[in-house]
Structure 1
Amino acid sequence: MYTTSIEKFIEDIPKAELHLHIEGTFEPELMFKIAQRNHKEIPYNSIEEVKNAYRFNNLQEFLDIYYAGAGVLITEQDFYDLTWAYLTKVHKQNVTHVEIFFDPQTHTERGISFDIVINGIRNALEDGISKLGISYKLIMSFLRHLDESSAFKTLEHAIPYKKWITAVGLDSSELGNPPSKFERVFTKARAEGYQTVAHAGEEGPATYIWEALDLLKVTRIDHGNSCLDDEQLVQKLVASQIPLTLCPLSNLELKVITDLKDHPIKKMMDKNLLVTINSDDPAYFGGYINKNYLETAKALNLSRKQITTLVKNSFKASWLSEEEKERIIKEIDFYAYQNQISKN
């Protein structure tokens, strides 16, 4: 049975988070505050009603409320407050680097300018560097349930902010919206100098992961659970060490798995896949990054050595410089040594 010492081990070890949707950090309390500030009505009468609505049977049910909540975000200050709230939470959980997604189409489709969205988010992230010591990279995601022309338009909006945006990604409803739908958009994005990532293999099949690799030329797979259904794909991922950004509590809440004991992350580690733990949309799925580590560790009986490997993977899989990675991994090794990793 896990003790508080294991909890503290997870709490205190430096971590990076690579799969986090900033709109998915919208806590009910902040949602109500911003809705009132902007005189926007939401279909809930209390914070408790919002929390009760955060129960889902699948990805689409979650997305419905996710987009409804995002509808109260209007001003640059709103996007700043949303991002700053996330940063202050994870700062207390010893997260030192974040690579976060934002979904501009969620906002531009309802008349909010791209400038307002990115300025608010980036200003908070810059303050996160100076005030909290949290470094960052920004990932702009295309919504896969929308059409290719909308994605191209969003990419055009992003090009003037190329220095601010490290990568483009692909999220939203996976089933019926394969990566191949956006091959031309991703080709254009790569030509503009962006890194590429894509959600694949969460609810979708292993073939979606192949498409993301072969057609979108991604350097990271977000989720990737279904890769275990295809041994040839596993071998490719192991050989290339293309990272998977797994989200255990998200998988549980969205019924990708029915029990954390069934989560594939330990099997993936045994196969030498480069896997990481992340929180995805923590306000909706009941847990930020430390809870994802702790609940997964308890369910799968992970050792401190395995936890340390996952933490180191989060930095290895990041877009930090090699020098920065080497420095932080040395810090993690020293932390683990101090906490007698060899005895666990």
Structure 2
Amino acid sequence: MTVLEHLIADMPKAELHLHIEGSLEPELMFALAQRNKVTIPFASVEDVRAAYSFSRLQDFLDIYYAGADVLRTEEDFRDLALAYFDRAAADNVVHAEIFFDPQAHTDRGIPFSVVAEGLLAGMKDAEAKHGLTSRLILCFLRHLDEDAAFATLAAAEPWLDRIEGVGLDSSEMGHPPAKFANVFARAGEMGLRRVAHAGEEGPPAYVHEALDLLKVDRLDHGNRSLEDQALVTRLARESMTLTVCPLSNLKLCVIDDMRAHPIPTMLRQGLRATINSDDPAYFGGYVNDNYRALATAGLVDADDLILLARNSFLGSFLDDAAVATHLAALDAAAHHYQPSR
């Protein structure tokens, strides 16, 4: 292992952009299909992996929703969550704030309670097993209408003491953040944190809407913000966290080469960028794979890696005491890689 690879492995870190349904590995997909007697459109694990070739976000979403159909019971959602947390713990992730898409399940007849209770059980198991803390973020599917989002928020009410916030994901183009301004306002009134995918495929205008209309506490992706210098200045001034996903960007053709990834520009311009895995089962890697991809491409040095990990805690929804504890552990781990300090 190189020095940077050792640093990546040793650093404690948080993950802030992870779709739990997107961590469904082909092996688990097949096991759940067999357990639940669900027919899936693939003959083997190899067939599934061969299908993971995408030219745009929608290509990915089509297979993502097909895979989610094997999730039927609380046990399934618990197993899905714990499988992710096992992988995350191996990458020295000590805190994760995970997205889930209840509409992808309730629209096919799975009760909200099954989804929520299963995921919460997996989160509890992960904390007992690994000491890994986590938070749950309910995402609205933006290709559906706002009435459906309001219905989902209403269905979530019995669990809102255990749900940290709301988010916005799925097909970005043609579905601007403004479409969900009212439901986000209601979520804010209910004390929920607010995050949204914006500026992945959509234009900088979508980022402005996420900030001004949805009042987001954190911005998911945000790559195309760099096309608007005034927006970049604002994001830096407001210390707005961006949850950036390098391997996802490459797999979905947001960039055509990892060496062209905008992370160095983001850091240079003072943006609070973080590194995350997005949908790791589909995009070829968990969080450390994303850090390593940047290092292998020559885009980051040790100081950059430590800053990215630091940003992951600063951008989390943990309280100040927990953040301080994690930052102290990060400083201790990083000390050996910064001999000049």
* TM-score, reference length from structure 2: 0.99
Partner residue of 2:204? 206
Partner residue of 2:164? 166
CA contact (8 A) 2:263 2:299 kept: no
Partner residue of 1:245? 243
1:127 CA displacement: 1.1
CA contact (8 A) 1:266 1:300 kept: no
Unaligned runs of 5+ in 2: none
Distance 1:216 1:154 in 2: 17
1:68 aligns with 2:42: no
Identity of counterpart residues, as a percentage? 53
1:186 CA displacement: 0.4
Q: Secondary structure at the match of 1:300?
A: coil
Distance 2:302 2:93 in 1: 18
Q: Secondary structure at the match of 2:297?
A: helix
Deviations 1:268-298 (A, max 9, x none): 1000010000000000000000000001122
Query: RMSD in angstroms over aligned alpha carbons?
Result: 0.9
CA contact (8 A) 2:4 2:301 kept: no
CA contact (8 A) 1:206 1:227 kept: yes
Distance 1:104 1:217 in 2: 22
Amino acid in the other structure paired with 1:273? L
Distance 2:110 2:299 in 1: 46
Amino acid in the other structure paired with 2:7? F
Deviations 1:4-32 (A, max 9, x none): 33212101210100000000000000000
Q: Which among 30, 48, 51 is matched to residue 49 of structure 2?
A: 51
1:93 aligns with 2:91: yes
Q: Which among 163, 183, 186 is matched to residue 185 of structure 1?
A: 183
Distance 1:47 1:342 in 2: 48
Distance 1:140 1:100 in 2: 9
Distance 1:338 1:267 in 2: 26
1:338 CA displacement: 2.3
Distance 1:264 1:340 in 2: 24
Distance 1:309 1:213 in 2: 24
Partner residue of 2:128? 130
Partner residue of 1:330? 328
Deviations 1:253-280 (A, max 9, x none): 0000000111111101000010000000
1:342 CA displacement: 3.2
Q: Secondary structure at the match of 1:275?
A: strand
Distance 2:339 2:85 in 1: 29
Partner residue of 2:270? 272
Partner residue of 1:106? 104
CA contact (8 A) 1:315 1:325 kept: yes
CA contact (8 A) 2:259 2:299 kept: no
Amino acid in the other structure paired with 2:32? I
Q: Which among 10, 15, 38 is matched to residue 13 of structure 2?
A: 15
1:90 CA displacement: 1.0
Distance 1:296 1:63 in 2: 25
Amino acid in the other structure paired with 1:124? G
Q: Which among 128, 141, 144 is matched to residue 143 of structure 1?
A: 141
> Mean alpha-carbon deviation: is it higher for 120-129 or for 296-305?
296-305
Distance 1:191 1:124 in 2: 28
Distance 2:84 2:226 in 1: 32
Partner residue of 1:118? 116
Partner residue of 1:29? 27
1:341 CA displacement: 4.9
Distance 1:190 1:99 in 2: 18
Partner residue of 1:339? 337
CA contact (8 A) 1:305 1:341 kept: no
Partner residue of 1:227? 225
Amino acid in the other structure paired with 1:107? H
Q: Secondary structure at the match of 2:94?
A: strand
CA contact (8 A) 1:245 1:275 kept: yes
Q: Which among 317, 320, 332 is matched to residue 319 of structure 1?
A: 317
Distance 2:265 2:210 in 1: 22
